């Protein structure tokens, strides 16, 4: 019965992950995977006589209470931070499982594969824990979002990594318990030093990679304690996170190594400011100008960016889209893969505002439609709509797939200023003849434009 229940949990993991692949089925997929995890945990705790049913119930009550509190209190704009925290807690949980195996047994009796599994789980779990909370700090504003660099940083990180590998080999071969704890401490430090030199706008890739790491740590812990459910669940998370990481780097036309080690955005990785920014004349717009352009269009494409999240303007965007549709104007949302601060950030925000799923277009769907679109309304996006990525071989972002919004009939950009995006470069789009710049908070701009639209 125990093995059958573990098998049922594994099936729920797989089916749940499959349903997470589409917005219409994502909620049910999340529930199925959660039920699978609940089954696996309860079966393990009860079958091994670790705790009794009363303790299980108490744990469920505390966990459910914390989950409900987070769901109610945490703003949608803070979802990237929450995901980073989840990754960190997942990593440290796996590392602690492996650490318990070290504490409760004589490490000198471990088989080679057991020692390797424990060490891998501890290392990856510890790196994931501290790395995730550095990412959390950058996204939350507790730590500077820019890359934090110091002289010889790569050398220090390299020496620490070599030292960690050496101590890990010694601990496994000599059966020294102290070696496991040295490895743990070193891995915690490496997690911090590995993420601090990465810029805040690269956090979507970092979060995805750390998510993969948390799964790999869980799978390794599963091998260490011979838990098939943990192995399967961890492998699924690890594989899914790695696939998503690859997709994110491809969306930026950058290698994973460049994201992790180039200090992009600091001026050292090719992402420094290029030329003067904001010194050319622009076509300024008011809410009335925006309303007129939208009101006389036949098709509108809305491009959300991080500015939408900061202003919490997703509901205002939905109301404006509804008003345009009531005027028989076709409205879609074009979502770039790296818009926002985590994979799917814009999708989550717009889904919270009940924007219909069929209106959410990805890069491949939206780009062919842009030349036939009358008006593109950009809400806080920058680098993902920068024509320099297409036209300027000398640009740091050259080759990065973008939304070719300048091919549309009219472009309206809502930004607070002409400040550059993460790449630190100017955006030629702002100065084009068919571009209107509406300098305002995204939420206020949308509300004012909606009021002007209704007054037409």
Instruction: Quote the tokens at residue 85.
Output: 């925290």
Number of CB atoms found within 10 A of residue 45's CB: 16
Cα–Cα distance for residue pair 38/357, rounded to 1 Å: 30
List residues bridging with 412 in a β-sheet.
Answer: 377, 436
CA neighbours closer than 13 Å in the CB half-sphere of residue 432:
20
Distances (CA, A) of 423 to 266, 400, 409: 9, 12, 27
State which H helix or E strand residue 35 sits in. Answer: helix 26-47
Please pick, among 202, 367, 383, 406, the residue that the annotation labels catalytic. Answer: 383
What are 36's two structure tokens? Answer: 């699978």
Catalytic residue check, 448: no
Query: Which is nearest to 129 in space by CA: 63, 213, 248?
Result: 213
Give the active site residues.
Answer: 383
């Amino acid at each position: 019965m125990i093995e059958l229940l573990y098998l049922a949990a594994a099936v729920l993991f797989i089916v749940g992950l499959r349903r997470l692949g589409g917005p219409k089925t994502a909620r049910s997929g999340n529930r199925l995977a959660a039920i699978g995890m609940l089954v696996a945990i309860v079966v393990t705790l009860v079958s091994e006589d670790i705790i009794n049913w009363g303790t299980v119930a108490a744990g469920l009550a505390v966990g459910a209470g914390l989950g409900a509190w987070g769901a109610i209190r945490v703003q949608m704009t803070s979802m990237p931070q929450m995901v980073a925290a989840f990754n960190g807690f997942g990593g440290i949980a796996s590392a602690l499982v492996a650490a318990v195996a070290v504490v409760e047994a004589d490490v000198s009796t471990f088989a080679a594969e057991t020692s390797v599994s424990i060490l891998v789980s501890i290392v990856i779990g510890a790196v994931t824990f501290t790395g995730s909370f550095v990412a959390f700090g950058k996204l939350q504003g507790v730590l500077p979002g820019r890359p934090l660099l110091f002289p010889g940083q790569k050398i220090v990180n390299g020496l620490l990594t070599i030292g960690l590998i050496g101590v890990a080999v010694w601990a496994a071969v000599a059966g020294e318990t102290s070696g496991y704890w040295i490895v743990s401490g070193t891995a915690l430090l490496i997690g911090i030093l590995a993420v601090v030199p990465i810029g805040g706008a690269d956090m979507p890739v970092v979060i995805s990679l750390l998510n993969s790491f948390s799964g790999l740590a869980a799978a390794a812990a599963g091998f260490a304690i011979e838990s098939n459910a943990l192995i399967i669940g961890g492998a699924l998370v690890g594989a899914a996170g790695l696939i998503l990481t690859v997709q994110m780097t491809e969306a930026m036309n950058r290698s994973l190594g460049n994201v992790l080690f180039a200090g992009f955005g600091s001026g050292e990785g090719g992402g420094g400011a290029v030329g003067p920014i904001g010194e050319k004349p622009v076509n300024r717009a008011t809410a009335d100008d925006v309303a007129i352009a939208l009101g006389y269009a036949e098709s509108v494409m809305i491009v959300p960016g991080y500015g939408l999240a900061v202003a919490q303007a997703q509901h205002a965007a939905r109301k404006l889209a509804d008003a345009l549709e009531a005027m028989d104007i076709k409205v879609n949302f074009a979502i770039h893969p790296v818009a926002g601060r985590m994979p799917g950030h814009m999708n989550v925000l717009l889904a919270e505002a009940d924007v219909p799923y069929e209106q959410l277009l990805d890069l491949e769907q939206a780009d062919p439609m842009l030349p036939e679109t009358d008006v593109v309304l950009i809400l806080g996006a920058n680098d993902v709509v920068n024509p320099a990525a297409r036209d300027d071989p000398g640009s740091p972002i050259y080759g990065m797939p973008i939304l070719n919004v300048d091919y549309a009939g009219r472009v309206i950009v809502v930004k607070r200023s002409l400040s550059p995006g993460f790449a630190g470069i100017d955006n030629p789009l702002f100065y084009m003849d068919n571009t209107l710049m509406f300098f305002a908070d995204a939420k206020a701009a949308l509300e004012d434009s909606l009021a002007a639209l209704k007054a037409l």
